A and B are shown apart, each in its own frame.
Chain A
Amino acid sequence: MPQAAAQDRQGKIMADVKARKRPLSPHLQVYRPQITSVLSIAHRVTGVSMALGGVLIAVWLLALASGPEYFAIADGAITSWIGTLIMLASTWALAFHLCNGIRHLWWDLGYGFELDQVTLSGQVTLVVSGALTLLTWFIVA
C-alpha cells in the first residue's frame, strides 16, 4: 500500500533527524557583541559561577559549625590569594547579577523595552554593580 510505504519512509526520515546534525545559521561568528547580548550571557555566567560559590559558602558554614580544625582549613582556603581572588570575582558576580536581576524584574513588569531604555539600563547596571563591588570591599575588608 502506497500510504503505508510513505509513512514508513517518513518514519525513517524522522528517526534520522535525531542522528543527523542539522546546520544552524551563524550567530556568534557574525553578530557584533552588544550591550544587550553581552549582559544577557553575563547574567547567565555570573549565575552559574555563583552556584559554585554557593557550595563553597555552604561548606564554610559547615566548617564553622564543625570545630576549629575544620574551620582553619576552610578559612585558610578562602583567605589564600586564590581564595581572595575568587571572593573578589564573586562579589562582582553577585553585584552584577543582582543589578541585572532587578533590570529583569523591571522588564517583567512591562517597563523599559525601548532600545534606548535597554541600553541605558544596561549601562546603569554596569556602573552600579561596579560601585557596589567597591563599596562591599570597602565595608568588608
Chain B
Amino acid sequence: MSFKTPRSRVIGLGSAKDGVSHWWTQRVTAVALVPLAILFVIPFGQSLGQNFADARSTYENPLHAIVAILFVAVAFRHMQLGLQTVIEDYVHQKGLRTAALLSNTLLCALFALVGVFGVAKVAFGG
C-alpha cells in the first residue's frame, strides 16, 4: 500500500525531490564523453603551441567544431553534476551549502557558454 499523497504519486519523484534523473544524466553524459573527450583532446592538444592561424583552422573545420561544442556542453553538464555530489558530501552549513550549489550551477553554465561561444565564433568565421 503506497503511503504517498496523490500529488507525489503523480509527480513520480522520491524523497530527494529529483527521482533518479541526476544519476541517469550523469551516466548518459559519461557515455557520451568517452568518444567526445577522445575526439576533442587530440586536435585540441595538437593546436596548443601552434600559431594563431593554424589553431584557428582546426576549429574552422566543421567536424572539429561540432565535436568541440558537444564536448564542452556535455562535459560541463557532467562536471556540474559531479561537483554537486562533492559539495553535498562535504558542505553541511545551510547558507554555505546553498551558495556553493548555486555557484556551481551558474558557473558551469557560464563557462559552458564561454567555450561554446568561442568555438562557434571561430567556426562561423568571426
Q: Does A131 sit within 8 A of B, measured CB to CB?
A: no
The interface of chain B, by Cβ under 8 A from chain A, is 27, 30-31, 33-34, 37-38, 41-42, 44-46, 48-49, 52, 55-56, 59, 68, 72, 75-76, 79, 82-83, 86, 111-112, 114-115, 117-119, 121-122, 126
Other-chain contact of B27, A61, A65, A72, A108 (Cβ < 8 Å): A108
Contact: B44 with A58, CB < 8 Å?
Answer: no
Contact: A50 with B79, CB < 8 Å?
Answer: yes
Q: What distance in Å separates the Cβ of B46 from its nearest Cβ neighbour in chain A?
A: 5
Interface string of A71-109 (1 = CB under 8 A from B): 110010011000000010001001000100110110010
Contact: A71 with B121, CB < 8 Å?
Answer: no
Contact: B30 with A105, CB < 8 Å?
Answer: yes
Q: In whole angstroms, what is the CA distance A23 to B59 when docked?
A: 54
Contact: A98 with B37, CB < 8 Å?
Answer: yes
Q: What distance in Å separates the Cβ of A8 from its nearest Cβ neighbour in chain B?
A: 24
In the complex, chain B residues whose CB is within 8 Å of the CB of A9: none
Q: In whole angstroms, what is the CA distance A62 to B68 when docked?
A: 12
Contact: B46 with A140, CB < 8 Å?
Answer: yes
Given A75-B49, A78-B48, 8 new contacts (CB under 8 A): A50-B79, A61-B59, A61-B68, A63-B118, A87-B45, A87-B48, A91-B45, A101-B33
Other-chain contact of B37, A63, A66, A71, A94 (Cβ < 8 Å): A94
Interface of B is mostly: helix
The interface of chain A, by Cβ under 8 A from chain B, is 44, 47-48, 50-51, 54-55, 57-66, 68, 71-72, 75, 78-79, 87, 91, 94, 98, 101-102, 104-105, 108, 136, 139-141
Other-chain contact of A64, B27, B31, B56, B86 (Cβ < 8 Å): B56
Q: In whole angstroms, what is the CA distance A38 to B82 when docked?
A: 18
Q: What distance in Å separates the Cβ of B64 from its nearest Cβ neighbour in chain A?
A: 11
Other-chain contact of B111, A58, A91, A104 (Cβ < 8 Å): A58
In the complex, chain B residues whose CB is within 8 Å of the CB of A59: 111, 114
24 contacts between A and B (CB under 8 A): A48-B83, A54-B75, A54-B111, A54-B115, A57-B115, A58-B72, A58-B115, A61-B59, A61-B118, A62-B114, A62-B115, A64-B52, A65-B117, A65-B126, A68-B52, A75-B48, A75-B55, A78-B48, A94-B41, A101-B30, A101-B34, A104-B30, A105-B31, A136-B41
